[in-house]
Amino acid sequence: MRNGGPAEELFRSLGLDSASARKRLEASGRRGKPGRNEELAYTSHAKRLIEAASKEARESGTGLSAEHLLVAALQEQKGTTARILADAGVSAERARDAVYQTLESKAPDEPRRRPAAGRSSRRPSWRLVLLLAVPGSILLQYVFHAPALAVFVTACLGVLPLAGYMGEATEHLAHRTGPTIGGLLNATFGNAAELIISIVALQAGLVSLVKASITGSILGNLLLILGLSFVAGGLKRSELRFNRTSAGMSAGMLTLAVVALVLPALFHAVHPEAAARLSELRMSEAVAVILILTYGFSLLFSLKTHRRLFNADAGPTEGPAWGVGKAILVLALATVGVAVESELLVHAVTEAGHTLGLTEAFLGLIIIPIIGNAAEHATAVVVAGKGKMDLALQIALGSSTQIALLVAPLLVFCGLVMGQHMDLVFTPFEVMALGLATIVTAIITLDGESHWFEGVQLLAVYGMVAVGAFFLV
């Protein structure tokens, strides 16, 4: 922005006020006030932009320049630069093309790597195909009266695209509302599909399945998705770095969740008599209140009072941002669709499990969590492959803490309303698996560094848990 630099020239060529743009950029990158030497203290996010610019220069085979930093800023669709352009009605693609033209004019004989055009328009095609499973499952159940296994499989396939649309609509709403409200929206709808499936199962009286799915969702995020993210990120990089503060906070909250599950289990072991069931339920309700309050304070800590420690970017939206009306409509329709598919899935799950020879514990711990969180899991692995490890950990660890501290307590009170005995007394296998997974994840992530082999180790632990669940009666 200084001395006629590329950003100033770009904004002027696009008809924007370069002075106001410079103020917004400096305000977003400044952690504190400049000292006497007038040097800025940059946030870790600004430093990541510089690292991305250095990578851009290395891959293009040229020296680092201000244009590379500008390209890195433009590639962040929710960054300050992108917001400046969006407010003026200018697309980031148009701005990037202008910068690349400048780079090519400086060295016309050197090849330049540009972002592939039109890729985002092809990515959602798999969802459009899988959406056919939604009417297909309804027809199989109510018209053809097909076997439960066929209904279960098609209902699972139908949940996948609907959960993806719910997540995408939430991201676009967050893009429109700003980081604080956006964070609350992500916290509210991040595991909506999983919550809806659990509520329907709870209404059907499948309390054990609901408990197993809670534990399975946490284990899936901690071991399967985090492991796949480390492997995907480490394929092209020898070392992965991420925010230690965020990882440490997630590890602490998951430890809190383990304590919340251990205490009711200990009470059940000490008082196994049937007369103590009401006390277990009341204890679970009290613990659920504490967990929800703790989760609320964690949002206040990470989104408001200590937001500077995290600097977590929201996931980029594909293509132009949706309007609020479209995002709300898509979110509402997808939510209704997930509710319908969950009804079919839950009513077919028991018979389908018997047909496949799978126990309720395996279905709850492994199958249903993968289905309910597939879209979010895929996003974490994809962004990890692009080197955005902070965002991948935010998805994996954030989803785990959300399930443990928000979804599970909410299901306790849903059971109270429905007349179901939904408590927090989990089986010893579930409690031990969750405790061991938390310990392993904390050991791997607390140093803020990782590599692909640590991802393999997490996947190995998940594989052993899956084997144990398969043989668990």
Instruction: Spell out the SS3 assignment of 350-379.
Output: HHHHHHHCCCHHHHHHHHHHHHHCHHHHHH
The pLDDT score that the predictor gives to residue 178 is 59
Contact between 268 and 382 (Cβ < 8 Å): no
CB contact burial 333-369 (16+ within 10 A = b; e otherwise): ebbebbebbbbbbbbbbbebbeeeebbbbbbbbbbbb
* CB neighbour class for 279 (10 Å; exposed up to 12, middle 13-18, buried from 19): middle
Residue-level pLDDT at 29? 59
Note the pTM of the prediction, 2 decimals: 0.71
Q: Give the pLDDT confidence of 230-277 residue by residue, as tens digits.
A: 999 999 888 888 888 878 888 888 888 888 888 998 899 888 888 788
pLDDT of residue 35: 47
What SS3 class is residue 293?
helix
Q: For residue 93, what is the DSSP state?
A: H
Q: What is the pLDDT along the chain (473 residues), one digit of tens a residue?
A: 666 677 777 777 767 777 777 777 777 655 544 444 444 455 556 666 777 777 666 666 566 777 777 777 776 655 677 777 766 666 666 677 676 666 566 555 444 444 444 334 344 467 888 999 999 999 999 999 999 999 999 999 999 899 888 888 887 787 676 555 665 676 567 688 888 999 999 999 999 999 999 999 999 999 999 999 999 999 988 888 888 887 888 888 888 888 888 899 889 988 888 878 889 999 999 999 999 999 889 888 877 787 766 654 445 555 566 888 888 899 899 999 999 999 999 999 989 999 999 988 899 999 999 888 877 778 788 888 888 888 788 888 888 888 999 999 999 999 999 999 999 999 999 999 999 999 999 999 988 889 999 999 999 999 999 999 999 86
The answer for residues whose C-beta is within 8 angstroms of residue 144's C-beta and 6 or more apart is none
* Tokens 């009417």 sit on residue: 135
SS3 call for 240: strand
Q: Which helix (H) or strand (E) holds 450?
A: strand 449-450
Q: What is the pLDDT of residues 210-235, one digit of tens each?
A: 999 999 999 999 999 999 999 999 99
Strand-pairing partners, residue 42, are: 30
Percent of the chain with pLDDT over 70: 77
